[in-house]
Amino acid sequence: MTDGVQTGKQMGLEEVEALAQRALVAAGASDAAAQAVARSIRLAERDGIRSHGLLYLPIYAEHLRCGKVLGMAAPVVTRPKPGSIRVDAAHGFAHTAIDAGWGDFTAAARQNGIAALSLHNSYNCGVLGHHAERLAEDGLVGLCFTHAPASIAPMGGKLPVIGTNPFAIAVPDGAGGALLVIDQSASVVAKSEILLRARKGEPIEPNWALDADGRPTTVAEEALLGSMLPAGGQKGFGLGLMVEILAAALSGANLSREASPFSGTAGGPPGTGQCFIALDPAGFSGAVFQQSLHRLAGSITDQPSARLPGARRKANRAQIEAAGVFVDAALLARIESILQVN
């Protein structure tokens, strides 16, 4: 920033994706991995979710170079049951492993009416709601779960057991898109917000976290050494535990308390997991399902100022797809340094 004017560059989404792909390859990712992750970065920028866009690219590069994620990993897909697809991500990017199992997964859902895709030896999968939305675009109901390194203690405890553990659901609109997308985590606030407050030396809100002794704190540094609070108290912890059961235990991944952090270079690959469930409406109520959905959506949108979950992201898309995104000079310099390292 110079004389109060922010310096940087306006970039189109295609340019964002191409830059991300080049940087990932330079950091050690295979072409397939770079393409899948770069697409995820583009979608995050498109929806205004900047924390999962180019801002995350230097972290991906750091993890490729230190071996926390293996850039040349080859996912292994198996099908233990007609409706279950299991993918060993081989400590590579989740995005690549998801792509590897996707065709069998969606085909099984259409054949059986329901199917599940699980991943183990995985890594974070970017914006979870995008995977649920992808299922909705395929005409399926998508229910997705992913866990993270432990950061939330059980009610009455002080030792983190589960991660922020988000879940997402998306439903088709009958025209090749998603009618609504719900994407939320088990914590009151994203851990990235506490990290940001810590870097700025700013206090956090009193209901966000506990310190290492299990006491409420407004000091961001103390919160990072303690536990984040679940949204809705014990109900939020229960939702996070449900995600843990599906994304970690059912998939055969490390539990959240066993996984290395997604931030920093310590600990080796986190070995986390995901679980996606797809349901084909044709195997249940058929056309009645879509009719019911539109009546349900109308009962929300007919109310002044009310909006469907995911509507804000959709509103961002139209503007950002046309105008692109502004990337500040400091971030561009960090990405440029990735490209220059041999």
Catalytic machinery residues: 51-52, 193
- 10 Å CB burial of residue 322 (0-12, 13-18, 19+) is exposed
Token pair belonging to 238: 């229960």
Separation in Å, CA 109 to CA 168, 285, 309: 18, 15, 25
Token pair belonging to 61: 């590069």
Element housing 336 (H / E): helix 329-340
Token pair belonging to 132: 């649920």
Token pair belonging to 277: 């469930």
Residue identified by tokens 């690959």 is 269
Separation in Å, CA 263 to CA 58, 247, 266: 11, 20, 8
Any idea what DSSP says for residue 281? Answer: G
Token pair belonging to 131: 């995977």
Between CA 310 and CA 47 the distance in angstroms is 10
Contact 59, 68 (CB under 8 A): no
- 10 Å CB burial of residue 193 (0-12, 13-18, 19+) is middle
Going by C-alpha positions, the residue among 125, 118, 40 that lies closest to residue 79 is: 118
